[in-house]
């Protein structure tokens, strides 16, 4: 269970606490208001955010990989991360509040994905290949706009905030904003878990899925919307966190197989553990907090290389 790890994370930080401190803060908050504030308003929201966002990015990554039958796909495939970056960057340049920045990031990610989905619709060609290529194009376009925003930002104040947001951090999460987004996470988790066995069939190709009685266009769109909502909600809270949505699905498949009935919830569990550990390291191993994408990159790269080498050695392919 993740609860013991979360409780341990509550005690770890620049200000070390004991399990007794945690217990007293929960049972009798008035005993030590300083410790209670540290636990309830600083560490607990971060831990909840790490668990939910880690699970969300991992499950979104697995959904996209199965939908596009490509294990090298990540949650930002359809442009949601770069679109969110455009929204957040504009909000920072305009000097808007944190809440507004998070809202603009969410809207920017959704707009990017809507643009990606609309182009194949206008072309009357909704095949996986066209969706994949359109996602790459839109993502590149949003990245160019994001680059322009960084170029125009004030290097003495705004640029640093944009870059730090782009590298990912849970420092801005509090109980209020995570509570507002939590229903989106929970509803999307529920939909994916209910329909998860269809993912394996969809990954076999349109013809096989239609033969099995699945409405390919409708269900593919539903899965894409769910994965997009998870990714956009995660990015608006914590910025861009790389590697999780790419490597965790691979770890889940290696542990439990490629059947999405089992690998999807397993990816969520592993992702929650992974980001919780990464965030705990980020806020404790140095005096200044390390952005999450730096740690996920250092840890994720060798893990991914190991997975690829083992998989290539086993069957000579990167396919499911």
Note the pLDDT tens digit of each residue in 253-274. 999 998 999 999 999 999 999 9
Whichever domain contains 290, its CATH number is: 1.10.3470.10
Reply yes or no on whether the pLDDT at 316 is more than 70: no
The closest of 227, 261, 274 to 60, measured between CA atoms, is 227
Cα torsion 95, 98, 99, 101 to 10°: value is 60
Report if residue 99 sits inside a domain.
yes
Q: How confident is the model at residue 251 (pLDDT cuts 50, 70, 90)?
A: very high
In a domain, 253, yes or no: yes
Tell me the CA end-to-end span of the chain in Å, nearest whole number: 28
Q: Are 33 and 40 in contact (CB under 8 A)?
A: no
The 3-class SS string of the chain reads CCHHHHHHHHHCCCCCCCHHHHHHHHHCCCCCHHHHHHHHHHHHHHHHHHHHHHHHHHHHHHHHHHHCCCCCCCCCCCCHHHHHHHHHHHHHHCCCCHHHHHHHHHHHHHHHHHHHHHHHHHHCCCCHHHHHHHHHHHHHHHHHHHHHHHHHCCCCCHHHHHHHHHHCCCCCCCHHHHHHHHHHHHHHHHHHHHCCHHHHHHHCCHHHHHHCCCCHHHHHHHHHHHHHHHHHHHHHHHCCCCCHHHHHHHHHHHHHCCCHHHHHHHHHHHHHHHHHHHHHHHCCCCCCCCCHHHHHHHHHHHHHHHHHHHHHHHHCCCCC
Could you tell me the pLDDT band of residue 313, with boundaries at 50, 70 and 90?
low
pLDDT over 80 (residue 182): yes
Q: Is residue 243 part of a domain?
A: yes
Is pLDDT above 90 for 129? Answer: no
Rounded percentage of the chain residues whose pLDDT exceeds 90: 63
Instruction: Kindly report which listed range (115-129, 227-241, 301-315) carries the lowest average pLDDT score.
Output: 301-315
**In this structure, is residue 84 part of a structural domain?**
yes
Q: How many domains does the chain have?
A: 1
Average pLDDT, integer, range 167-175: 92
Q: Quick one: what percent of the chain has pLDDT higher than 70?
A: 97
Please indicate, yes or no, if residue 85 is contained in any of the structural domains.
Answer: yes
> Is 90 exceeded by the pLDDT of residue 226?
yes
Output b/e per residue, 151-181; b: 16+ Cβ within 10 A: eebeeeebbebbeebbbbbbbbbeeebbeeb
Q: What is the mean pLDDT of the chain?
A: 90
pTM beyond cutoff 0.85:
yes
pLDDT interval class at 314 (50, 70, 90): low
The answer as to whether 278 is a domain residue is yes
Please state, in angstroms and rounded to a whole number, the distance separating the CA atoms of residues 2 and 126: 40
Residue 262 maps to a domain: yes
* Band of pLDDT at residue 312, cut at 50, 70 and 90: low
How far CA 291 is from CA of 154, 163, 170, 238, 254, in Å, comes to 21, 10, 9, 10, 28
When pLDDT is cut at 50, 70 and 90, the band that residue 90 belongs to is very high
Q: What angle do CA 281, 283, 284 make, to 5 degrees?
A: 65
Residue 55: give the domain boundaries: 3-315
128 pLDDT band, cuts 50/70/90, is confident
Q: What is the pLDDT at residue 315?
A: 58
Q: For residue 320, tell me if it sits in a domain.
A: no
Residues 190-206: what's their mean pLDDT? Answer: 88
């Amino acid at each position: 269970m993740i609860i013991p790890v979360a409780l341990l994370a509550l005690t770890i930080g620049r200000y070390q606490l004991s399990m007794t401190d945690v217990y007293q803060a929960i049972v009798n908050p008035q005993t030590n208001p300083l410790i209670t504030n540290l636990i309830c308003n600083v560490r607990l929201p971060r831990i909840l955010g790490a668990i939910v966002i880690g699970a969300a990015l991992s499950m979104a990554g697995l959904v996209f990989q199965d939908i596009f039958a490509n294990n090298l796909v990540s949650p930002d495939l359809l442009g949601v991360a770069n679109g969110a970056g455009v929204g957040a960057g504009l909000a920072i340049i305009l000097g808007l509040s944190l809440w507004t920045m998070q809202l603009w990031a969410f809207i920017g990610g959704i707009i990017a994905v809507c643009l990606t989905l609309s182009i194949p619709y206008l072309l009357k060609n909704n095949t996986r290949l066209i969706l994949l290529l359109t996602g790459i194009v839109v993502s590149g376009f949003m990245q160019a706009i994001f680059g322009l925003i960084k170029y125009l930002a004030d290097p003495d104040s705004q640029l640093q905030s944009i870059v730090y947001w782009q590298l990912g951090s849970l420092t801005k999460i509090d109980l209020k904003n995570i509570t507002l987004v939590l229903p989106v996470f929970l509803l999307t988790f529920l939909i994916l878990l209910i329909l998860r066995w269809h993912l394996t069939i969809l990954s076999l190709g349109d013809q096989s899925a239609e033969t099995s009685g699945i409405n390919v266009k409708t269900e593919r769109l539903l899965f894409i919307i769910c994965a997009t909502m998870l990714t956009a909600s995660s990015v608006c809270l914590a910025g861009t966190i790389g590697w999780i949505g790419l490597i965790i699905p691979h770890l889940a498949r290696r542990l439990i197989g490629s059947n999405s009935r089992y690998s999807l919830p397993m990816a969520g569990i592993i992702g929650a553990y992974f980001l919780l550990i990464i965030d705990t390291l980020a806020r404790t191993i140095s005096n200044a907090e390390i952005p999450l994408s730096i740690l996920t990159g250092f840890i994720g790269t060798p893990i991914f290389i190991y997975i690829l080498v083992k998989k290539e050695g086993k069957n000579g392919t990167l396919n499911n």
